[in-house]
C-alpha cells in the first residue's frame, strides 16, 4: 500500500503538471533540419534534377484557368532559357536576390534551419539568416492599420498537442520588380539551380501550416494555402523536413559573401574574379556593382 | 490584349529573377554543354561565402602553370555532405571535372574529382549512382 503522504504528494504533482498551460510543455525539435527533396549539390545547384523534383512533388495547385495559362507561358519561356544554357549559348543574366521568403523557405529551399519553440513564440532560424517569428501567446494578427506585406508575412500560432499550427498572412515576393499580387511558388532542381513556376499567389493568400514531429529524425508540415484571387479551391501540400545528421551546429550561409563574392557582373554577364590576397580592399571596376570584387584578369 | 501581354512580360521578368535567386547567381557563365577534366596542384582552398573555390595550378599546352578558379557551392551546403575547410590542402595533386567558363578564362563549375589519395572526392558519383548524390 502506498503511504498516504506519498500518494498525496504524487497527486499534487500530477495535478500541477496537468494544470500547466499546454504551451509550456514544448516539444524537443532541436537540431538542424533540411527539406527532403531540396538538398543542395556540391556544384552549387541541387542534388535532384528539376524533372525529378517535379515528379516527386506532384504539385497541382488549383490555379484558375487564366493563372494556369500564364504559368504555362512563363514556364515555356523558362524552359527555352534552360535549354539555351544547356546548349552552351550565352544568355542574359539577371541580378540575384538573397532572400527566399515565405512560403519558398518552407517548401523548396536548400537552406537548413532550426526551430526554437518557446512558450510565447516559436522562432525558425534559417542558415541564410532569414527568421520567422510565430507568436503563440494568444494574440491576433497585427491590426490592419499597422500591417504591411513582407517576404515572411505576419504569423501567429498555437499548439494542438505537439502540433504547431501557424497562420500567416500579408506575404509579398522578395524578388525585385514583382508587384503585390505576384508571389511565385517555384520548383527548383538540377546542378545549375534551374527553376520552374508552379503557381503564383495574390496579396490575399492565406497560409495555415501544421508542423509535427513524425519521428526523431523527421518533421512534417501540412500546409494549406487559400487564395480567393488565383485559386479555385484550397491547395494542400505536405513537406517533410529531415534531420541533418552530419552536423550538430548551425553553419552560416551568406549570399552577399564576406568580402569574397567573386562573381561580379561584367558587361552584362557573371564571371569569376581572381581571389583577393592583398589583405586590403581594392576599388571595384566601374562596370561592376558597388561592393563587388574587381576583375583584374 | 496589350494589358495581358504586359502583365505576362512582367511575370516572365519576375520569374527569371526568381530563378537566379535560388542559386545566388545565374549559371549561364559556365558552359554546361562541355565537361572538361583538369589535373594540377592545389594552391589554395578558399572556404568562403557565398562560394568555396579551389585554386589549382594547371599546366597549359606549353607546359606553363596557370592558376584556375574552380567554383563550388557554399560552406553551409558542403559541410552537410562531409566537406571541411581542410579537405584540400596546398600541394595536393588532384583531378577535377568541371564545366568550363564560356569566356575561356581559367575557371569553371566544380562537378566531381579525384583527391590526392586517388579516391573520389566527397560527392563524386560512383558508377552505380549515375550522378552526384
Q: Do B50 and A100 touch (CB under 8 A)?
A: no
Give B-chain residues touching A175 at CB under 8 angstroms: 14, 17-18, 21
In a domain, A28, yes or no: no
Q: Which residue of A has its CA nearest to B22?
A: A193
Please give, rounded to a whole number of angstroms, the shortest distance from the CA of B43 to a CA of chain A. 11
In a domain, A58, yes or no: yes
Give B-chain residues touching A192 at CB under 8 angstroms: 23, 27, 30, 32
Give A-chain residues touching B105 at CB under 8 angstroms: 271-272, 297
Mean pLDDT confidence for B13-40? 71
Domains of chain A: total: 1
What's the mean per-residue pLDDT of chain A?
A: 85
Site from B28, B33, B69 to mutate, A interface, most A CB atoms within 10 angstroms:
B28
B93-115 tens-digit pLDDT: 999 999 999 889 999 999 999 99
Q: How many CB atoms lie within 10 A of CB A69?
A: 13
Q: Do B80 and A40 touch (CB under 8 A)?
A: yes
What letter would DSSP give residue B38?
E
Per-residue b/e over B22-61, b at no fewer than 16 CB within 10 Å? Answer: bbbbbbbbbbbeeeeebebebbbbbbbbbbbbbbbebeee
Residue B131: the pLDDT is 37
Contact in structure between B75 and A44 (CB atoms under 8 Å): no
Provide the percentage of residues in chain B whose pLDDT is more than 90. Answer: 62
Residue B57: the pLDDT is 98
Out of B51, B80, B107, closest to residue A244 by CB: B80
Please say whether the dihedral angle defined by the alpha carbons of residues A83, A86, A92 and A98, taken in this order, is positive or negative: positive
Provide the percentage of residues in chain B whose pLDDT is more than 70. Answer: 74
A151-172 tens-digit pLDDT: 999 999 999 999 999 999 999 9
In a domain, A272, yes or no: no
Integer Cα distance of A125 and A121 in angstroms: 13
Out of B22, B51, B107, closest to residue A186 by CB: B22
In a domain, A238, yes or no: yes
On whether ipTM exceeds 0.85, the answer is no
Contact in structure between B55 and B67 (CB atoms under 8 Å): yes
What letter would DSSP give residue A282?
-
Out of A255-264, B86-95, B123-132, which region has the weakest mean confidence (pLDDT)? B123-132
- What pTM does this model have? 0.83
* Residue count (chain B): 133
Q: Do A269 and B82 touch (CB under 8 A)?
A: no
Cell of B25: 547567381
A244-283 tens-digit pLDDT: 999 999 998 887 777 677 887 777 777 888 887 656 555 5
Which is higher by pLDDT, A281 or A28? A28
- Angle CA(A96)–CA(A98)–CA(A101) in degrees, nearest 5? 120
Out of B32, B71, B79, closest to residue A88 by CB: B32
CB pairs under 8 A between A and B: 222
Integer Cα distance of B23 and A45 in angstroms: 6
Residue A272: the pLDDT is 87
Q: Do B101 and A174 touch (CB under 8 A)?
A: no
Give B-chain residues touching A241 at CB under 8 angstroms: none
Which is higher by pLDDT, B13 or B98? B98
Q: Is A186 on the interface with B (CB under 8 A)?
A: yes
Residue B28: the pLDDT is 80
Give B-chain residues touching A269 at CB under 8 angstroms: 28-29, 102-103
Please give, rounded to a whole number of angstroms, the shortest distance from the CA of A229 to a CA of chain B. 16
Mean pLDDT confidence for A23-45? 89
A72, containing H or E segment = helix A65-86
Give A-chain residues touching B85 at CB under 8 angstroms: none
Residue A87: the pLDDT is 77
Integer Cα distance of A8 and A97 in angstroms: 62
In a domain, A119, yes or no: yes
In a domain, A91, yes or no: yes
A133, containing H or E segment = strand A131-135
In a domain, A256, yes or no: no
Q: Is B15 on the interface with A (CB under 8 A)?
A: yes
Ranges of beta strands (E only) in chain B are 36-46, 53-59, 65-71, 93-100, 107-114
Contact in structure between A213 and A202 (CB atoms under 8 Å): no
Q: Do A274 and B82 touch (CB under 8 A)?
A: no
Domain, as residue range, for A46: 33-243
Which is higher by pLDDT, A296 or A51? A51
Mean pLDDT confidence for B48-72? 95
Residue A293: the pLDDT is 44
Q: Is B84 on the interface with A (CB under 8 A)?
A: no
In a domain, A73, yes or no: yes
Q: Do B69 and A176 touch (CB under 8 A)?
A: no
* Residue in B32, B51, B52 with CA at minimum distance from that of residue B42: B52
Amino acid at each position: 500500500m502506498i503511504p498516504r503522504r506519498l500518494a498525496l504528494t504524487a497527486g499534487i504533482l500530477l495535478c500541477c503538471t496537468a494544470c500547466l498551460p499546454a504551451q509550456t510543455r514544448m516539444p524537443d525539435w532541436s537540431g538542424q533540419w533540411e527539406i527532403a527533396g531540396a538538398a543542395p549539390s556540391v556544384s552549387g545547384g541541387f542534388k535532384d534534377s528539376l524533372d525529378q523534383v517535379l515528379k516527386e512533388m506532384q504539385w497541382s495547385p488549383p490555379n484558375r484557368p487564366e493563372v494556369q495559362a500564364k504559368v504555362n507561358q512563363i514556364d515555356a519561356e523558362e524552359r527555352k532559357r534552360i535549354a539555351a544554357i544547356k546548349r552552351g549559348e550565352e544568355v542574359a543574366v539577371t541580378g540575384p536576390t538573397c532572400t527566399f521568403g515565405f512560403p519558398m523557405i518552407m517548401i523548396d529551399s536548400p537552406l537548413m534551419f532550426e526551430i526554437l519553440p518557446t512558450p510565447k513564440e516559436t522562432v525558425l532560424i534559417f542558415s541564410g539568416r532569414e527568421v520567422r517569428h510565430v507568436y503563440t501567446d494568444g494574440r491576433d494578427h497585427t491590426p490592419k492599420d499597422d500591417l504591411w506585406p513582407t517576404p515572411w508575412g505576419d504569423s501567429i500560432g498555437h499548439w494542438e498537442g505537439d502540433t504547431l499550427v501557424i497562420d500567416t498572412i500579408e506575404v509579398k515576393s522578395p524578388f525585385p520588380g514583382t508587384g503585390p499580387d505576384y508571389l511565385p511558388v517555384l520548383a527548383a532542381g538540377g546542378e545549375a539551380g534551374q527553376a520552374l513556376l508552379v503557381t503564383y499567389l495574390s496579396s490575399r493568400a492565406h497560409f495555415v501550416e501544421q508542423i509535427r514531429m513524425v519521428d526523431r529524425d523527421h518533421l512534417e508540415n501540412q500546409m494549406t494555402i487559400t487564395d480567393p484571387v488565383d485559386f479555385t479551391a484550397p491547395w494542400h501540400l505536405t513537406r517533410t523536413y529531415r534531420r541533418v545528421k552530419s552536423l550538430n551546429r548551425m553553419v552560416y550561409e551568406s549570399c552577399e559573401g564576406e568580402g569574397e563574392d567573386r562573381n561580379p557582373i561584367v558587361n552584362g554577364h557573371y564571371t569569376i574574379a581572381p581571389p583577393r590576397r592583398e589583405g586590403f580592399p581594392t576599388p571595384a571596376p566601374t562596370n561592376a556593382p558597388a561592393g563587388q570584387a574587381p576583375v583584374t584578369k | 490584349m496589350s494589358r495581358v501581354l504586359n502583365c505576362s512580360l512582367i511575370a516572365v521578368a519576375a520569374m527569371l529573377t526568381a530563378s537566379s535567386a535560388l542559386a545566388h547567381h545565374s549559371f549561364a557563365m559556365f558552359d554546361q554543354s562541355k565537361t572538361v577534366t583538369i589535373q594540377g596542384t592545389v594552391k589554395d582552398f578558399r572556404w568562403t561565402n557565398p562560394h568555396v573555390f579551389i585554386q589549382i595550378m594547371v599546366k597549359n599546352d606549353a607546359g606553363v602553370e596557370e592558376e584556375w578558379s574552380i567554383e563550388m557551392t557554399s560552406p553551409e551546403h558542403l559541410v552537410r555532405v562531409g566537406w571541411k575547410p581542410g579537405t584540400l590542402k596546398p600541394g595536393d595533386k588532384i583531378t577535377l571535372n568541371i564545366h568550363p567558363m564560356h569566356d575561356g578564362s581559367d575557371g569553371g563549375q566544380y562537378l566531381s574529382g579525384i583527391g590526392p589519395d586517388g579516391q573520389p572526392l566527397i560527392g563524386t558519383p560512383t558508377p552505380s549512382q549515375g550522378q552526384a548524390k
